[in-house]
Structure 1
Amino acid sequence: MKEKKNLYIYENEIVKFIFTKRDVDAKDFQQMDKLLRENNFNYKNLSYVKQVHGCEVVSIKDRLSDFSIESDALVTNEIKKPLMIFTADCVPLVFYDENKKVIALAHAGWKGTYSEIAKNTLELMVDKYTSDVKDIKVIIGPHILVDNYKVSEELIEKFSSLKVDKYYKEKNGEFYLNLETINKQILIRNGILEENIISTGLCTVADNDKFLSYRKDKGTDKRIATVIELK
């Protein structure tokens, strides 16, 4: 993945995706239009939906840019029809299957993570688009990492029902939730090869000079964009 002035980008002969940096607001569509055109994304076919911290996944055939549609993950096998999600501390999950040429994005905050949106996204890729789960690669994008994600003890107890290992830290009587570890274990449990899961290791709080953070920026309305496109 290559770092540029206002984004991180990965590109190969089949797929490309980006994570925007803090001087870009994903909800400023004029700014996004310019940014995506500069990086050779097909902006006029960009799809996005209203994110509601749920576990619904939508399949994209034609362009869908409608905040009346509620979903937190998008999947497509359409060429040059990019997908976009919005985050500001939540986990952006990027899925791609180079064999069947299928891509997906999922927005996994604590609610989506708890509801196993990663699993639901994989199931749609496999059931509708015939992906072999062992061919799917997953990138875990910039989000609030465990050392900065202080939560209640009640939330830690809630996550115990997922039966994942080492999913939180306790320091001085305070609790810190590890969304990355939980999502990784959900992915592996559902057939993703461990070597096909790659984390950027970037934290929206610790790396706040580069990324927007809902917590660090005191409830900002601005958002990071994650965009993926099949070439």
Structure 2
Amino acid sequence: MSANGMRKGDYLGLLTEVTERLVAGMGDVQTVGLGGATATGGTDLMAELVNVSADEPGVPLTESDPMLLLRTSGTTGRLKAATHAQGSYAAVTANILASLLAPGPDSGMLHAAALIHAIGTFVLPYSFRGGTSVVQSGFEPRQYLEAIEQHRITEINLVLTMLGMLFTHEVLGQTELPLVVTVLGESDTDANSCPRPRARPLYGPSPS
């Protein structure tokens, strides 16, 4: 149940309906999915990537060209599409690299939340600097901790509820974390429970 009282199935149904109307109203638009076909019949982009040339596409772009449409209902319960332009998303990436993190070839961030939310903005900065982004299909503390060790993760990005589940899990003390882990989340609460952490709150209240 969401904050506005909608069940997940109802929300997905409404999202599909709005997507179909949006695509129909935009004319000649091709939709793609990430990890599956879209509701409007678009192909799975992840499956298509294996056949894509590594050469530069040579597509002319300007700062005002739309790059990403983010569907949000906010507090109204009515879906709307917020637009990221090429310039605004480039600014987000530059801001992360200038003021928050400095990833390099040995850096790796573990993702366990939807990339369409804030955590997804870290993928591009890591790609630019030769780092690694490891994406999980969901958050399960044991698998998450195993992935930190397996992929030598140096940064994690979790909300407070995830941090609480992670720091109280029995496997935490058994997991070898060979590198310093930077914890990015809502708050630095309980950050000292994580071996060798650097905690950086991204938004929300902080007790420090």
Fold equivalence (TM over 0.5) = no
Q: By percentage of residues, which structure has more helix?
A: 2
Q: By percentage of residues, which structure has more strand?
A: 1
TM score, norm. by length of structure 2 = 0.30
TM score, norm. by length of structure 1 = 0.28
Structure of higher RCO (CA pairs closer than 8 Å, 6+ residues apart):
1
Q: Answer with 1 or 2: which has the greater Rg.
A: 2
